[in-house]
C-alpha cells in the first residue's frame, strides 16, 4: 500500500509511520531524511540540493520528486511506502501523482492524523530536550534520565512558536487535504490516544 501521511507538527505522524513500518514492512520515506542523506553522500542530486540549501532557498519540487523516485526504486519500497513531509501543497501533489502514475506505482491513500491545535500546543510545549545527548523528554524530567544532562525547552517548542507553525501548516495544507478528499483518497484518523489505539484506528481506516 502506498500512503501519503498528513498531519500538523506534533500530531504524531512519526509514531504512526513507525508502527506501520514495524507491522507491515512499508518503507518510511521522509523527504527531510532523503535530502540530508543525499547531501551527505555527495550524489549528483545531493550536490544540487546542497546548493539551494546553502543559499537558504527551498529545494525545487522536481529535485525532491527525483529524490523520492530514486528512493522508491529500492527493494524495501516494493512492499509499499509511506511518504512523510511531501507533498506540502497541491502543486506538489499534482506533480507527485503524475510521476507515480508514470512509474505505475500510484498512491492508494492520503492519511490525515487529526489532532486539535490546543492538544498539539500542550503536547509540544511540554517537550524538553537534553543539551548534552539530545534525549527528548517532558517537563517532568528535571535532568536527563539517560546522561544526567540539563533539560531545556527548544525555541521550536515554545507555545507562541508552535501556534505560528500550526498557522503556516493550516494555510499550506488545508487545500492539500481538500485535493485528496476530492479524489476520494482521504482517510482521517483521530490522533489522540495511546499508540496502540491510534494504530488500530489507522489500520481500520486503511483496511489493513
**What is the grid cell recorded at 179?**
485535493
88 is catalytic: yes
190's grid cell? 483521530
pLDDT tens per residue across all 208 residues of the chain = 999 999 988 898 989 999 999 999 999 998 888 888 888 888 888 888 888 888 877 788 888 888 888 888 888 888 899 998 889 889 889 989 998 898 888 999 999 999 999 999 988 899 999 999 989 899 999 999 999 999 999 888 888 888 888 888 888 788 999 999 999 999 999 999 999 999 999 999 999 9
The answer to whether position 196 is within a domain reads yes
Is 148 domain-assigned? Answer: no
* CATH number assigned to the domain comprising residue 191: 3.40.50.300
φ, ψ of residue 73 in degrees (nearest 5): -80, -15
Note the pLDDT of residue 200. Answer: 96
Q: What is the pLDDT of residue 20?
A: 94
pLDDT at 107: 93
pTM given for the model: 0.80
Residue 142 lies in a domain: no
Is 130:151 a contact under the CB 8 Å cutoff? yes
Measured CA to CA, the distance from residue 41 to residue 90 in angstroms comes to 30
Q: Is 34 within a domain?
A: yes
Q: Which domain holds residue 82?
A: 2-115+173-206
For residue 152, what is its C-alpha cell? Answer: 531545556
DSSP letter for 132, please: T
Active-site position among 13, 71, 128, 201: 13
- Residue in 36, 48, 69, 88 annotated catalytic: 88
pLDDT reported for residue 180: 96
The catalytically annotated residue of 50, 69, 158, 165 is 165
Asked whether residue 29 is domain-assigned, the answer is yes
Number of domains in the chain: 1
Q: How far is CA 89 from the centre of its chain?
A: 14
Q: Kindly name the residue from 79, 118, 146, 154 that is annotated as catalytic.
A: 154
13 flagged as catalytic:
yes
Are the C-beta atoms of residues 28 and 21 closer than 8 Å to each other?
yes
For residue 146, tell me if it sits in a domain. Answer: no
| 164 Cβ neighbours under 8 A, 6+ residues apart | none
Q: Is 154 designated active site?
A: yes
Decide if 195 is inside a domain. yes
Question: Is residue 161 situated within a structural domain?
Answer: no
Amino acid at each position: 500500500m502506498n500512503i501519503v501521511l498528513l498531519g500538523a507538527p506534533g500530531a504524531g505522524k512519526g509514531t504512526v509511520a513507525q508502527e506501520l513500518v514495524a507491522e507491515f514492512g512499508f518503507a518510511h520515506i521522509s523527504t527531510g531524511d532523503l535530502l540530508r542523506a543525499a547531501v551527505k553522500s555527495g550524489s549528483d542530486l545531493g550536490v544540487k540540493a546542497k546548493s539551494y540549501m546553502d543559499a537558504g532557498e527551498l529545494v525545487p519540487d522536481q529535485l525532491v520528486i527525483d529524490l523520492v523516485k530514486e528512493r522508491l526504486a529500492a527493494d524495501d519500497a516494493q512492499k509499499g511506502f509511506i511518504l512523510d513531509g511531501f507533498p506540502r501543497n497541491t502543486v506538489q501533489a499534482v506533480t507527485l501523482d503524475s510521476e507515480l502514475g508514470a512509474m505505475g506505482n500510484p498512491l492508494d491513500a492520503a492519511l490525515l492524523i487529526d489532532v486539535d491545535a490546543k492538544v498539539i500546543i500542550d503536547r509540544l510545549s511540554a517537550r524538553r530536550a537534553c543539551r548534552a545527548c539530545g534525549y527528548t523528554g517532558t517537563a517532568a524530567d528535571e535532568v536527563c534520565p539517560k546522561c544526567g544532562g540539563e533539560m531545556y525547552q527548544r525555541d521550536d517548542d515554545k507555545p507562541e512558536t508552535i501556534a505560528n507553525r500550526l498557522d503556516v501548516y493550516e494555510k499550506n495544507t488545508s487545500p492539500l487535504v481538500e485535493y485528496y478528499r476530492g479524489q476520494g483518497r482521504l482517510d482521517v484518523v483521530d490522533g489522540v490516544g495511546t499508540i496502540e489505539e491510534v494504530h488500530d484506528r489507522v489500520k481500520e481506516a486503511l483496511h489493513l
